[in-house]
Structure 1
Amino acid sequence: MKLGANESSSASRATASRPKVLLLAYSISPVRGSEYAVGWNHVSHLAEFCDLTVLYGLAGPHMGDLEEIEDHIRTHGDLANVRFVPIRPNRLARLLNAPNRAGVLVYTFYLAYRVWHWQAARIAAKIIASEQIDLIHYLCPIGYREPSYLWALSKPLVWGPIGALVPTLQLKGAPRPWRAVAKVKLKNLANRLNLALSCRVRRALRRADTIVAATSENADMLSTRFAVTPLLIQENAIPDDAVRAHGKLNGAPDRPARLIWIGSLDWRKSPDLLLDVLAAVRPRDWTLDLIGSGALLALAQARAAELGLGDRIAFHAQIPRAEVQQLLREADLHIITSMGEGNPTTIWEAMAAGVPTLTLDHCGMHDVVCDVCGVRVTPTDYVGTRDSVAAEIGALIEDRRKLSALAEGVTICRERFLWSKRSRQWLGIYHGVMARHRHTHGQSCGAAANVGWTRGAFRPTGDLANRL
């Protein structure tokens, strides 16, 4: 059986040392960041060591927007050792997603997303019934809420990195509209209920051969709630060719310190906290590049003017990635004020540029940023957190030697997070999963045989699986 127009000749070159991996990356794009970059970076780097068949459904703003992958292949040719298999949403998925696509009722996306995963599992069953596949990896998005149906297929399964189990932080006393506060409380409540009631999540976690958590907080939640022992691996890393030599002038006290903040202007990213922090910073010799757009842009601009910070802050809104990277190379300190994250892409971009990060001490920032390469501030209430962050920024502005030392530390710490090392880490996981599976089942992982679905799902086998 042949699927897709982008068949690679890598199948004939595959050896026992090159795992043949069926990878599900719902969101993937060569030109976007965040979850899209998770999928693309993993595929482009692991293709050196594995033969990948990639099931995907999003390479643009909405489910079924696949043009960015298709355009990239037309322009640059096939990615070596990779076969992309688009899963286009069926009529039911499109119907369910229509209110979300129109911006009317965004939560209908999750219903459409479940249907899409059903489609993906059917295609996966057909592939493993007719081809050699050594293991399945459900990669992204990194949220746990949709466990897919791949766990029902009788192949070694890796799931993760998994995130989004941890409640979004709320700082007591934050001067925010009641709707914003209520939305976070409702989201956290829904998260707790889903964790407690989702049988499919429990089945998938029990069935997976290896579980990977995106942050230590999520690893703790998985261990406590579901009695599994996950590995801890961040969902993204730093491309080796993006690393810049350290050449900052942080030690020069004769110019303002250049601060940078990157993110969507929404309550989760907390630009309001950022502005209140900067108003409380005592040394005034700083400037800020604030990059991002969103619902709070006008509010943030008005608040900056109200606080008398307008002449120090440059609002860049949405700018090309190359311009963001240039501003990072010119920055002295990267600031994160988010209330909820996995591992934000801005960490890797800042580290690649040799820029230290000041962040609240939670989420993935807790695992990546250390005293050598940045500053972590323990969140308390709103006022206490504001004052603590402001004091840390002020101390760095006044002591440029310490700021310069942190920048030097970035060049040391980032070596742990290079894709050249991360891809080999994943390769080791793949080989370990296959070895355990062979030991347990006494057969080759890649043998194309009857496709059995485990208890709790429908059970197509043999010829029936081939007709799905």
Structure 2
Amino acid sequence: MLKILVNAYACSPYLGSEPGMGWNFIQAISKNNKVVVITELDEFKKDIEKKQIESPELFNNLTFYYIRRVHNNKIRKIWPPSYYWYYKAWQKDVYKLAKKLDLEYNFDIIHQLNMVGFREPGFLWKLNKPLVWGPIGGLEISPWKLLPSMGLYGMCFYGCRNIINLYQMHFLRRVKKCALKSHVLISATQETKDKIKRLWGKDSIVIPEVGLLEEFEKPEFKARGSVMKVCWSGQHTPGKSLNLFIEAISKSRNIDNLEIHIIGKGVCTNKCVKIANQLNINSKIIWHGWIQKKDAVKIISQCDLFCITSLKDITSTVLLEALSLGLPVITFDLFGFSNIVDSSCGIKIQTNTKKQIIGDLANAIDFFFEHESIRQEKAINAYKRANEYDWSGKMLILDEIYNSIKNKPEMNK
């Protein structure tokens, strides 16, 4: 067994997003290796200790160390990017602890795991140990010509984010140093892999940061009724572009035979409800708001089609959940969605103009309504596709990565 130190700021067996990603990657890594993990104290220690009481067998190869991240909520409200000041300070504390732990454990490999965003790579690359960094994300640029479709606030926010992203990916020296020092880089998407090659001249391996967090019962793949149920789920923020989905629904020639389920809530909820009322389609929409995970899964499983209209994500767990529940997916040909959704299980929409997107989304929805046999075929393939992204598959890839490092001559000197 290899002795591996994992830097995972976010790690929880009970949460989704970054904490769930951290936990599941660590579980995969610890199947065949002795793993020491450094994570944040206040947010995640209670969850991890609770899980250890419930399932002690999961911790046979796991040891956790905790460091508190100091932060100031008042400053963050005034200046949200101040998060990175305190996160950088936390990473410096991780480096200090890692140096001490290495004297005790003599690690074979160090894995800089999360947060996934490229902006803060930590300081463990300074240790004289083989380093794996990733999955790396955050290099995505929201399509410039579609920023106006996000509204004034969304256009300003994501426009500024694009500019900051472009500056940071080209000029953050510590990011480039970490990339060049790393023995292996892991990209969250093919797009990130291509950018890393252009920016830093390094090859990387694609492993999506998301995976199925739980197994659902195999879908029945039954034919739909006379009404096709279409689901959309996520935060109602400008980058999620729920407004484009609603406008597309209004253009469907089968609107009378559609039932729309929208899960989630956010700053754009009222605006989107207003758009639906203006388009006279609000009677076709069921607004579920934020609901418990089990209830959301039940709603999605009872639908026939799933749509994702995000212009800012790397990928999303809900995409894999929808596929695993046997729903074909309509999404944009962007970011990680482009990697996971293929012609076997869904339809990818190009993102040229707002008018084109709305028209193509409407046409894709109509296609599935008018071709039920194809919808059923893609539903079966969706389930198969989701299972290609389970954590056992990631475990095999990670083991290959670690063993490739172990077998390099410089490691055996």
TM-score range, shorter chain: over 0.9
Q: 1:82 aligns with which of 49, 62, 65?
A: 62
Residues 39-93 of structure 1 show CA distances to partners (whole Å, capped at 9, x for unaligned) of: 1111223322222111111774xxxx6433344334544733211211112xxx3
Residues 146-167 of structure 1 show CA distances to partners (whole Å, capped at 9, x for unaligned) of: 0100100111110011111121
- TM-score, structure 2 as length reference: 0.94
Q: 1:42 aligns with which of 25, 35, 38?
A: 25
Q: Secondary structure, in 3 states, of the residue corresponding to 1:229?
A: coil
- The reply on whether 1:125 has 2:99 as its aligned counterpart is yes
Whole-angstrom CA distance in 2 between matches of 1:435 and 1:173 = 47
Whole-angstrom CA distance in 1 between matches of 2:74 and 2:395 = 37
Residue 410 of structure 2 is matched in structure 1 by 440
Q: Secondary structure, in 3 states, of the residue corresponding to 1:228?
A: coil
Residue 156 of structure 2 is matched in structure 1 by 182
Give yes or no for contact 1:57–1:87 (8 Å, CA) kept in 2: yes
Q: 2:51 aligns with which of 72, 97, 112?
A: 72
Q: 2:273 aligns with which of 296, 301, 314?
A: 301
- The reply on whether 1:136 has 2:110 as its aligned counterpart is yes
Residues 331-386 of structure 1 show CA distances to partners (whole Å, capped at 9, x for unaligned) of: 21111100022121112111221222110001001111110011111111001111
Give yes or no for contact 1:161–1:213 (8 Å, CA) kept in 2: yes
- The reply on whether 1:32 has 2:15 as its aligned counterpart is yes
Whole-angstrom CA distance in 1 between matches of 2:284 and 2:397 = 43
Quote the offset at 1:293 in angstroms. 1.8
- TM-score, structure 1 as length reference: 0.84
Residue 51 of structure 1 is matched in structure 2 by 34
Whole-angstrom CA distance in 1 between matches of 2:59 and 2:290 = 29
**Which sections of structure 2, spanning at least 5 residues, go unmatched?**
none
Q: 1:106 aligns with which of 65, 77, 80?
A: 80
Distance 1:24 1:367, change over 3 A: same
- The reply on whether 1:379 has 2:379 as its aligned counterpart is no
Distance 1:149 1:98, change over 3 A: farther
Whole-angstrom CA distance in 1 between matches of 2:360 and 2:168 = 35
Whole-angstrom CA distance in 2 between matches of 1:72 and 1:333 = 35
Quote the offset at 1:330 in angstroms. 1.2
Aligned 1:337-352 pairs, distance under 5 A: 337-352=309-324
Residue 265 of structure 1 is matched in structure 2 by 236
Q: 2:226 aligns with which of 251, 255, 260?
A: 255
Residue identity opposite 1:94 in structure 2: H
Whole-angstrom CA distance in 2 between matches of 1:357 and 1:185 = 28
Residues 72-124 of structure 1 show CA distances to partners (whole Å, capped at 9, x for unaligned) of: 334544733211211112xxx334x6522xx3321110111100100111111
The structure carrying a bigger helix percent of its residues is 2
Whole-angstrom CA distance in 2 between matches of 1:98 and 1:427 = 43
Give yes or no for contact 1:244–1:354 (8 Å, CA) kept in 2: no
Residue 275 of structure 1 is matched in structure 2 by 246
Give yes or no for contact 1:59–1:68 (8 Å, CA) kept in 2: no
Whole-angstrom CA distance in 2 between matches of 1:425 and 1:441 = 20
Quote the offset at 1:176 in angstroms. 4.2
Aligned 1:395-410 pairs, distance under 5 A: 395-410=367-382
Whole-angstrom CA distance in 2 between matches of 1:80 and 1:339 = 41
Give yes or no for contact 1:166–1:221 (8 Å, CA) kept in 2: no
Q: 1:226 aligns with which of 195, 200, 203?
A: 200
Whole-angstrom CA distance in 2 between matches of 1:354 and 1:58 = 38
Give yes or no for contact 1:59–1:69 (8 Å, CA) kept in 2: no
Give yes or no for contact 1:377–1:388 (8 Å, CA) kept in 2: yes
Quote the offset at 1:411 in angstroms. 2.8
Aligned length: 411
Residue identity opposite 1:29 in structure 2: S
Whole-angstrom CA distance in 2 between matches of 1:420 and 1:380 = 37
Whole-angstrom CA distance in 2 between matches of 1:30 and 1:318 = 21
Residue identity opposite 2:295 in structure 1: E
Give yes or no for contact 1:202–1:226 (8 Å, CA) kept in 2: yes
Give yes or no for contact 1:370–1:376 (8 Å, CA) kept in 2: yes
- The reply on whether 1:203 has 2:183 as its aligned counterpart is no
Q: State the structure with bigger RCO (CA 8 A, min sep 6), 1 or 2.
A: 1
Residues 373-400 of structure 1 show CA distances to partners (whole Å, capped at 9, x for unaligned) of: 1111111100111101111111111211
Q: Which moved more, 1:188-197 or 1:205-214?
A: 188-197
Residue identity opposite 1:272 in structure 2: N
* Higher radius of gyration, 1 or 2: 1
Q: Which moved more, 1:361-370 or 1:80-89?
A: 80-89
Give yes or no for contact 2:246–2:275 (8 Å, CA) kept in 1: yes
Question: RMSD of the alignment, in Å?
Answer: 1.9
Whole-angstrom CA distance in 1 between matches of 2:301 and 2:150 = 33
**Which sections of structure 1, spanning at least 5 residues, go unmatched?**
1-17, 444-468
Residue identity opposite 1:244 in structure 2: E
Quote the offset at 1:173 in angstroms. 7.9
Q: Which moved more, 1:171-180 or 1:141-150?
A: 171-180
Give yes or no for contact 2:147–2:155 (8 Å, CA) kept in 1: no
Whole-angstrom CA distance in 2 between matches of 1:130 and 1:412 = 44
- The reply on whether 1:94 has 2:94 as its aligned counterpart is no
Q: Secondary structure, in 3 states, of the residue corresponding to 1:433?
A: helix
Whole-angstrom CA distance in 1 between matches of 2:149 and 2:392 = 44
- The reply on whether 1:191 has 2:165 as its aligned counterpart is yes
Whole-angstrom CA distance in 2 between matches of 1:79 and 1:260 = 38
Q: Which moved more, 1:174-183 or 1:208-217?
A: 174-183
Residue identity opposite 2:47 in structure 1: E
